[in-house]
């Protein structure tokens, strides 16, 4: 389990990245950390890319229906504009943001803000997804989570696309994706 920074005392900025396949628990872990921030009476703002309105327009929602209020933004620069007077910034679905998200996270951390980012590390082909490699490179703390392979029950690192549609961005749930281990991913 991730041991979070102390909630009291001098504020030092930091960047935490939570990554893994679909259904690995990234959003649940993000929500868990952010709810604890609220319990500690710290000020938090949560953002997600406007593209991701699968479950709810203004909430970050996990596959298990845990949720927390969030602000959908069109681009990463907007996060800088909206994240005023906060102790913590949470960002979900970071893979969909533009490349500038890396500098946005660095700027926030330099200002003393704790930044917690969740995102898919790989797309359905196994390629690194969007700005995630850069975010992982600058992270102070990385948590890699795994789902359970739906074929064999082993740990799953990759999100298998069940449809024949191409293109990196294709929103969906269990109708479109299932988590698989590498062996079962290669089997089809």
Ligand X SMILES: Nc1ncnc2c1ncn2[C@@H]1O[C@H](COP(=O)(O)OP(=O)(O)O)[C@@H](O)[C@H]1O
Q: Which positions lie near ligand LXEULUCI, rule CB under 6 A?
A: 22, 26-27, 54, 120, 123-124, 159, 168-172, 177
Please tell me whether 136 is known to bind a ligand. Answer: no
Please tell me whether 24 is known to bind a ligand. Answer: yes
Q: How far apart are CA 77 and CA 102, in angstroms?
A: 10
Task: Give the nearest distance from C-beta 180 to ligand LXEULUCI in angstroms.
Answer: 11
Task: Give the nearest distance from C-beta 24 to ligand LXEULUCI in angstroms.
Answer: 8
Q: How far apart are CA 110 and CA 101, in angstroms?
A: 14
In 3D space, the residue among 82, 61, 62, 68 whose CA is nearest the CA of residue 36 turns out to be 68
Q: How far apart are CA 23 and CA 63, in angstroms?
A: 7
Task: Give the nearest distance from C-beta 184 to ligand LXEULUCI in angstroms.
Answer: 15
∠ CA 100-107-60 to the nearest 5 degrees?
A: 65
Question: Tokens representing 157?
Answer: 């690192």
Please tell me whether 9 is known to bind a ligand. Answer: no
Please tell me whether 29 is known to bind a ligand. Answer: no
Nearer to ligand LXEULUCI, 28 or 87 (CB): 28
Nearer to ligand X, 13 or 185 (CB): 185
Q: How far apart are CA 99 and CA 104, in angstroms?
A: 9
Nearer to ligand LXEULUCI, 137 or 170 (CB): 170
Q: Which residues are catalytic?
A: 93
The entry of Zn ion, ligand X, ligand LXEULUCI, none near residue 69 (CB within 5 to 8 angstroms by kind) is: none
The entry of Zn ion, ligand X, ligand LXEULUCI, none near residue 101 (CB within 5 to 8 angstroms by kind) is: none
Number of residues that bind Zn ion (CB under 5 A): 6
Q: How far apart are CA 91 and CA 118, in angstroms?
A: 6
Q: How far apart are CA 25 and CA 27, in angstroms?
A: 6
Q: How far apart are CA 24 and CA 122, in angstroms?
A: 12
CB 6 within 8 A of CB 40: no
Residue 147 engages Zn ion in binding (rule: CB under 5 A): no
Binding site for ATP: which residues?
20-27, 92-95
Binding site for substrate: which residues?
169-172, 177
């Amino acid at each position: 389990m991730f041991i979070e920074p102390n909630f009291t005392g001098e504020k030092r900025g930091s960047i935490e990245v939570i990554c893994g396949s679909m259904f690995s628990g990234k959003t649940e872990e993000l929500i868990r950390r952010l709810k604890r921030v609220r319990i500690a009476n710290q000020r938090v703002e949560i953002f997600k890319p406007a593209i991701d309105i699968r479950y709810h327009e203004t909430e970050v929602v996990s596959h298990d229906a845990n949720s927390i209020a969030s602000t959908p933004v069109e681009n990463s620069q907007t996060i800088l504009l909206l994240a005023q007077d906060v102790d913590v910034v949470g960002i979900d679905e970071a893979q969909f943001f533009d490349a500038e998200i890396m500098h946005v996270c660095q700027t926030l951390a330099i200002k003393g803000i704790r930044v917690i980012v969740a995102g898919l590390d790989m797309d359905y082909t196994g390629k690194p997804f969007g700005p995630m490699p850069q975010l992982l490179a600058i992270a102070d703390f990385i948590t890699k989570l795994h789902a359970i392979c739906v074929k064999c029950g082993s740990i799953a690192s990759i999100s298998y696309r069940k449809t024949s549609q191409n293109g990196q961005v294709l929103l969906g749930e269990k109708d479109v994706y299932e988590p698989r281990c590498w062996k079962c991913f290669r089997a089809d």
